[in-house]
Amino acid sequence: MKNEKAKQTVKQKTVFSFWEKIGESNLREMLLYLNPKSSFERFQKKRFFKAASIFLAALPVIAFKPVVTLIALALACFVYHMDYRKIKGWYEAEKFQRELVFFKFSREVYIYLLENMSTVYQAFERLSSRVDEGLLKDALRKLLISMHEKPNDVQPFIDFANDTSGSDSARLFMLTLYEYQQNSKDDSIIYELGKMTNEQLFMTVDDIIEYKLRKFGTFPTKVAMPVMIVMISFFITLLIDGVKSIQFINGGG
């Protein structure tokens, strides 16, 4: 009985490692960033079988025209890779939007602390009542509850940074806020926060430029798409021709 369970465990690990090996190194991270409930294995199975079905559909043609093997493989690999490119595009767009939201949040917190001399908790409360429903508001609610239950714990600040932005600069900002909460009489920390938000402003501007350039950089891919459409049309023509050849041979026999 124990041996059977051990075999099942080994089998599960082998299957799991297979989907990991044929996937890109950052794919799981991007999927979880976009949706923490998403299944890496399910996504991998779907894209693998979609690509495999293209190659399998070409087998009747390959039997008569072996040269089609390369075309079918290239088309299957292209379809497989495009699913990754799609996820990467969504990930970069979502990451960019979250960083913009966190930048606005950090500016608001800094202004509250500098002008109103609020506590960190009060600043979060005011912001929570002002922001629209969404990721930031949910994260602020969670942070306020955690701060109330664990006033001296740094983990809620780190969790907030990870939930909203996930960037190193966001974590550093929240750690500095935690330090200010613990040493609220040290005004130099507020000015350090101001310096950080100004640096974040320049980084955000650079990110905007880079994001626009990346979108422009996808132009060659868009140009290549008509070529792929022609290849697909050619592949379908060969497939039909192969099927007709099979029917002709069967009919002649």
Instruction: Give residue 248's pLDDT.
Output: 46
Amino acid identity of 131?
Answer: V
| Predicted TM-score (pTM) of this structure | 0.66
The per-residue pLDDT string of the chain (253 residues; one tens digit each, 9 = 90 and over) reads 445 544 444 444 444 568 888 888 889 989 998 888 888 989 999 999 999 998 888 888 888 888 778 888 888 899 999 999 999 989 988 888 888 888 888 888 888 887 766 788 888 988 888 888 888 899 999 999 999 898 889 999 999 999 888 888 889 889 988 988 887 666 777 777 777 776 666 666 556 566 556 655 554 555 455 555 555 555 555 555 555 554 544 555 4
Nearest Cα to Cα of residue 41 among 21, 55, 67, 68: 21
